[in-house]
Amino acid sequence: MPKLASLGAETAVAIYRTMVRIAQCDQRIQQGLAAGDLQFQYYPAGGQEAIPATIMALLKPDDLAVTTYRVIHDIVAKGTPMREIMAEMYGKVTGTCKGKGGPMHLTAPDSGLMVTTGIVGAGAPIAAGLALAETMQGTGRVTVCSFGDGAANIGAVHEALNLAAVWKLPVVFVCQNNLYAEYTSFAESTASESIASRAAGYGMPGESCDGADPASIHEAATRAIVRARSGEGPTLLECIAPRLQGHAFGSDTDHMDQASLAHAKAKAPCITVRQRLIDEGLATEGQLAQIEAEAKAEVDDAQRFAIDSDPPPLSELQSDVFADSADIPYSRQAAAAAEVHAPGARRQMTFGMAVNEAMAIALERDPAVFLLGEDIHDPAGGIVKATIGLSSRFGLDRVRPTPISEQAIVGAAIGASMRGMKPVAEIMVNDFAMVAMDQIANHAAKLRYMSGGRTTVPLTIRSLTAGNVGSFGAQHSQSLEAWFAHTPGLKIVAPSNAHDAKGLLLACIDDPDPCIQIEAMRCFFVPGDVPEGHYFVPLGKAAVRQAGDDITIVSYSWGMQEVHGAAVQLAEAGHSVEIIDLRTIVPLDYDAVRASAQKTGRVLIVHPAVEFGGFGAELAAKLQQDLFGKLKAPVGRYGAPYTSIPFAKNLEAAYFPNAGGIVERAQALLGYR
């Protein structure tokens, strides 16, 4: 074991001071839980205090960190004020996240603690994205990503390690191996001898060290941080520190080897480091007692501050969902910006060409914009050539092909967006978004809210739906807008034509919130009249495509093609149809739909996705609720049947909504008595 003296007295004592502050805070929280003053799920840090106390001491104040739900030692060590930490534990407005995040989601960007995730392993792709942003901006900052040995076996961590190695990102992956993944021992969950030994498979260094010994940690972490800062890429650092208690507060220890547990408690880092400081002549008993008294006083003060602070006002309940709370569905209607066109000509181009042009304009106008996704570089240019020519024009630094790693793609986009970049991530087809749903729904959507508005995630995800174009089958053809819309914090657009594809995408890229543009392959090669240059189609503004008096038909995406065909047939039968293209699902222009419903008295909602539980059900329910007794017929819906998407062409044709089916349902509503 290397001597603490190798660190120098000042550094060694400073590390001990941080360890004691961690231990005091950790113990005070557990005392509050035991007394019933606090009520939440808590994961103590006993036995792991030395890891962040040492590693964070090696970082610069503006370096970054990502951690997991066993967080208290990391956030204290990163320099977050103790008062803010304790206030968050008490759910007070003065907490790090205004009481909205709590102990599993502590976020403190001012001190560089960017994300604490309650999802095992999910922070690793985000850490890669943070490091990517710092690389692209040339700041020289390093990101440290902490996770447990259990997380080392989850896919998101593997994807992040590989991506970071491929791109040589300045990130240090720190596995805090406490030898138990919740209630399962390391030997039961992992066949490899160590976590660090896996690093060779990713083409990066891996190193194991004694996570209870600051000198051992300091030596290994110094190498990793120097490597990252010098541009050589990531390191996988495994710090082995036996856990001193059960998985969570109140958990039993029956699953743990009792002899090993007793030994670990006797050799607890705070005990052994204290004695070593004295034995090596680096500090006196009196000096250490003073440090311990100061740490206790700091926690006493923080607890009093937390108790005396106010809870968040009820107005906080729906703040920080979006940058503008007016974008929440059915809230006061946001004043949608007028559509602004740059002066100039209009020309014919396909939907796909319009998407390509939007990205080119965004890349040209804003150096913070970059693209990432599978096969997006030349000569491939994406599976439908949406990005063709862009890597040749703007370079591979800004048009970044990725491994086939949807979690890493979205996570990297999240992290980069948190540091001032505006990533546009391509998920090849909508179905594959489910692989990354944790990153999309638990992180991109929630980070602003969970952080009390201290974090913003201005990213855009483009995703193709390949349904109804020729037998792509059940796993390449879905339209998942209802899934996305059910997650507060996501904005969803579904353009039906080239004009909107360009204008909506430019609006998404400029938006401060995470946006998903669903692009239908069926629309991709359809030409339309598109303005030259830069313009926005404002989010939250539906378009009345055709005025009418007898019935309103509402749709979006490729459903509009079938609606227009049906409207022609209905007109031939003497019926006047009003057509509304939602364009944006969230934020929703409900006022436009309601106004049309009041005008015509009949509404049919058409969408490509499964009818059961589809977005049409939400819209229909709201219209029925608001206009009950005022409509001439119940609100109708027409979506796909409750089955997977079939391969056979005749079955696929019967599966998706079509003009004939729209006419049939519209006539039923028109004839309702």
What digits encode the pLDDT tens for the residues 454-476? 999 999 999 999 887 777 888 88
Residue 333: pLDDT band (50, 70, 90) is: low
Q: Kindly provide the b/e burial profile for residues 43-59, where b requires at least 16 CB atoms within 10 angstroms of the residue's own CB.
A: bbbbbbbbbbbbbbbbb
Q: Which residues contact 126 (CB under 8 A, 6 or more apart)?
A: 66, 114, 115, 117, 411, 412, 414, 415, 418, 439, 443
Strands (E) across 25-80 are located at 64-68
Q: Could you tell me if 344 and 531 are in contact, meaning their C-beta atoms sit under 8 angstroms apart?
A: yes
Rounded Cα distance between 646 and 582, Å, is: 27
Burial class (CB in 10 A: 0-12, 13-18, 19+), 36: exposed
pLDDT value at residue 337: 58
Following DSSP, what letter does each residue of 222-281 receive, concatenated?
A: HHHHHHHHTTS--EEEEEE---SS-SSTT---TTS-HHHHHHHHHT-HHHHHHHHHHHTT
Q: Kindly provide the b/e burial profile for residues 113-134, where b requires at least 16 CB atoms within 10 angstroms of the residue's own CB.
A: bbbbbbbbbbbbbbbbbbbbbb
Q: Give the 3-state DSSP-derived string for 528-539, with helices as H, strands as E and coil as C.
A: EEEECCCEECCC
Q: In the chain, pLDDT over 90 holds for what percent of residues? A: 93
pLDDT value at residue 32: 96
Strands (E) across 342-385 are located at 346-350, 369-373
pLDDT value at residue 469: 79
Rounded Cα distance between 458 and 512, Å, is: 5
- 261 C-beta neighbours (distance < 10 Å), count: 17
pLDDT value at residue 340: 61
Q: Could you tell me if 117 and 123 are in contact, meaning their C-beta atoms sit under 8 angstroms apart?
A: yes
Residue 11 has φ and ψ, to the nearest 5°, of: -65, -45
486 flagged as catalytic: no
In which residue are the tokens 């604490």 written?
Answer: 116
pLDDT reading at 334 higher than 70: no
Residue 342: pLDDT band (50, 70, 90) is: low
What number is the average pLDDT over the span 238-254? 93
Q: Which is catalytic among the residues 247, 443, 476, 607?
A: 476
Output the average pLDDT for the chain: 96
What number is the average pLDDT over the span 292-305? 98
Strands (E) across 571-673 are located at 577-581, 584-586, 603-610, 636-640
What number is the average pLDDT over the span 410-418? 99
Q: Could you tell me if 242 and 272 are in contact, meaning their C-beta atoms sit under 8 angstroms apart?
A: no
pLDDT value at residue 477: 84
What number is the average pLDDT over the span 525-537? 96
Structural domains in the chain, sorted by start: 4-309 (3.40.50.970), 332-536 (3.40.50.970), 543-670 (3.40.50.920)
Q: Which residues contact 469 (CB under 8 A, 6 or more apart)?
A: 521, 522
What number is the average pLDDT over the span 587-612? 97
In which residue are the tokens 């095992």 written?
Answer: 120
Rounded Cα distance between 584 and 145, Å, is: 36
What number is the average pLDDT over the span 376-402? 97
Q: What are the pLDDT digits (tens) for 73-88?
A: 999 999 999 999 999 9
pLDDT value at residue 10: 97
Q: Which two tokens stand for residue 368?
A: 């913070």
499, 567, 511: which is closest to 539 by C-alpha? 511
Name 184's bridge partners.
181
423's enclosing H/E stretch is strand 422-429
C-alpha angle with apex 160: 97 to 197, nearest 5 degrees? Answer: 120
pLDDT reading at 345 higher than 90: no
Q: What are the pLDDT digits (tens) for 79-125?
A: 999 999 999 999 999 999 999 999 999 999 999 999 999 999 999 99
Taking the alpha carbons at both ends of the chain, their separation in whole angstroms is: 87
Q: In the chain, pLDDT over 70 holds for what percent of residues? A: 98
Rounded Cα distance between 501 and 530, Å, is: 10
Q: What pTM, to 2 d.p., does this model score?
A: 0.96
* Range in 339-343, 453-457, 644-648 the model is least confident about: 339-343
pLDDT reading at 572 higher than 60: yes
Query: Measured between alpha carbons, how far is residue 545 from residues 98, 458, 537, 560 in Å?
Result: 44, 30, 15, 9
Query: Measured between alpha carbons, how far is residue 414 from residues 82, 270, 513, 547 in Å?
Result: 27, 36, 11, 41
Rounded Cα distance between 601 and 627, Å, is: 9
